[in-house]
């Protein structure tokens, strides 16, 4: 989908001072991607903020993790992400706006033989875990094409490399993990859109498994990590809804996530309703009931309340 907004739309949505500040931080926009009719990006300032700019037919609406946006303002980061999209900045494939040194390096690299480049990349990946993660993400994306759906084992290898144990050599921060998990959520959506429902479910589900296995014991002060896991759960839920087989055992899988894991709050029964179907929802209610007596009373009460709310509002 092409961007359906203009510079003037951004100017109109933001206050003059927000717009001006936003213009100045276009270069700080990273990891810009379009998903479900919204632009997602990170804006690196004094601290990194995660931004979601909706560009639907009803106009622009945005969310940002900065304090300005907390009060409902159209903050400079939203402006910056919109402008970055319009000028084509912030994406890794962008060639325009490349500085002279990078352009020179690009020129030299095009002279390398393919085999040499492969060896060079592998050497760099062995030395630097971030490089390996980038290569793993790029290859998994390539594999998630209709012509060559990857096996579960292949998906698992790539996800393992993308989500290493916390405290590993490079000391990934919550934001690093959040960006990688957001990327896996994107891949889950993309695989599903490409019709690879089984692969989509497995990317989502195995990523959740891996996150739990690794523990991700890093301080998540801004909630970036929880937000990314929430996106991943939603993508997984949507993928499950497209795959009839996925409903088997899904109710107990969901209850286990909600009651036994750090990111339990990211898994919401209403998101999984389509995948569960009526029988699954009934099974889910029954499982909650069973757990009410074994030390989960408070959590079960909250989840039962969510379920009751969902049942009331679902037409």
Local structure of 44: helix, strand or coil:
strand
Q: Strand 29-35 to strand 48-56: parallel, antiparallel, or no bridges (unpaired)?
A: unpaired
- Chain positions 185 to 214 lying near Zn ion, rule: CB under 5 A, are none
CB of 187 to Zn ion, least distance (A): 26
Q: In this complex, which beta carbon is closest to Zn ion, that of residue 49 or of residue 272?
A: 49
Segment near Zn ion (CB under 5 A), from 66-74, 137-145, 169-177, 208-216? 66-74
Residue 69 in the binding site for Zn ion (CB under 5 A)? yes
Q: In this complex, which beta carbon is closest to Zn ion, that of residue 29 or of residue 303?
A: 29
Cα 29 from Cα 125, distance rounded (Å): 25
CB of 169 to Zn ion, least distance (A): 32
Task: Specify the long-range contacts of residues 287-294, CB closer than 8 Å, at least 24 apart.
Answer: 287/251, 287/252, 287/255, 288/255, 291/255, 291/259
Cα 67 from Cα 75, distance rounded (Å): 9
Q: In this complex, which beta carbon is closest to Zn ion, that of residue 75 or of residue 240?
A: 75
Contacts of 177 (CB under 8 A, 6+ apart): 163, 166, 216, 218, 225, 228
CB of 44 to Zn ion, least distance (A): 12
CB of 129 to Zn ion, least distance (A): 30
Q: In this complex, which beta carbon is closest to Zn ion, that of residue 182 or of residue 239?
A: 182
CB of 70 to Zn ion, least distance (A): 9
Q: In this complex, which beta carbon is closest to Zn ion, that of residue 32 or of residue 69?
A: 69
In the sheet that holds 29-35, the strands lie side by side as 29-35, 38-44, 48-56, 59-64
Residue selected from 53, 66, 288, 303 as contacting Zn ion according to rule CB under 5 A: 66
Residue selected from 10, 26, 39, 64 as contacting Zn ion according to rule CB under 5 A: 64
Segment near Zn ion (CB under 5 A), from 70-78, 101-109, 138-146, 151-159? 70-78
Site string (75-94) toward Zn ion, x via CB under 5 A: x-x-----------------
Closest CA to 203 of 255, 258, 139, 158: 158
Q: How big is the site for Zn ion, counted in residues (CB under 5 A)? A: 5
Q: In this complex, which beta carbon is closest to Zn ion, that of residue 75 or of residue 300?
A: 75
Tokens 């290493």 correspond to what residue? 164
Q: Write the DSSP symbol of residue 227.
A: H
Segment near Zn ion (CB under 5 A), from 67-75, 122-130, 236-244, 248-256? 67-75
Tokens 């206050």 correspond to what residue? 15
Mark residue 29 as left, alpha or beta (left: phi above 0; alpha: psi -120 to 50; beta: remaining).
Answer: beta
Cα 203 from Cα 158, distance rounded (Å): 10
CB of 76 to Zn ion, least distance (A): 6
What is the contact surface with Zn ion in residues (CB under 5 A)? 64, 66, 69, 75, 77
């Amino acid at each position: 989908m092409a961007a359906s907004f203009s510079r003037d739309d951004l100017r109109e949505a933001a206050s003059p001072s927000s717009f001006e500040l936003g213009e100045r931080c276009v270069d700080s926009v990273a990891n810009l991607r379009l998903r479900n009719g919204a632009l997602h990006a990170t804006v690196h300032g004094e601290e990194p903020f995660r931004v979601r700019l909706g560009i639907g037919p009803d106009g622009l609406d945005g969310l940002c993790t900065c304090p300005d946006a907390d009060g409902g303002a159209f903050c400079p980061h939203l402006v910056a992400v919109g402008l970055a999209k319009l000028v084509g900045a912030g994406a890794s494939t962008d060639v325009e706006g490349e500085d002279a040194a990078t352009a020179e390096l690009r020129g030299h690299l095009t002279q390398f033989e393919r085999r040499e480049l492969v060896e060079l990349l592998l050497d760099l990946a062995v030395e630097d875990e971030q490089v390996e993660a980038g290569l793993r993400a790029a290859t998994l994306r390539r594999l998630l094409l209709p012509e060559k759906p990857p096996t579960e084992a292949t998906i698992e290898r790539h996800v393992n490399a993308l989500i290493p144990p916390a405290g590993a050599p490079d000391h990934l921060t919550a934001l690093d993990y959040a960006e990688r998990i957001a990327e896996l959520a994107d891949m889950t959506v993309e695989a599903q859109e490409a019709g690879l429902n089984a692969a989509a479910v497995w990317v989502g589900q195995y990523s959740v498994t891996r996150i739990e296995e690794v523990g991700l014991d890093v301080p998540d002060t801004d909630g970036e990590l929880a937000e990314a896991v929430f996106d991943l759960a939603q993508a997984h839920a949507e993928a499950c809804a497209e795959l009839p087989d996925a409903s088997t055992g899904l109710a107990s899988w969901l209850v286990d996530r909600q009651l036994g894991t750090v990111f339990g709050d990211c898994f919401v029964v209403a998101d999984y309703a389509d995948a569960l179907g009526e029988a699954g929802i009934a099974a889910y209610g029954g499982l909650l009931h069973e757990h009410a007596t074994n030390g989960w009373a408070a959590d079960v009460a909250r989840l039962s309340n969510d379920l009751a709310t969902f049942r009331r509002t679902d037409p």
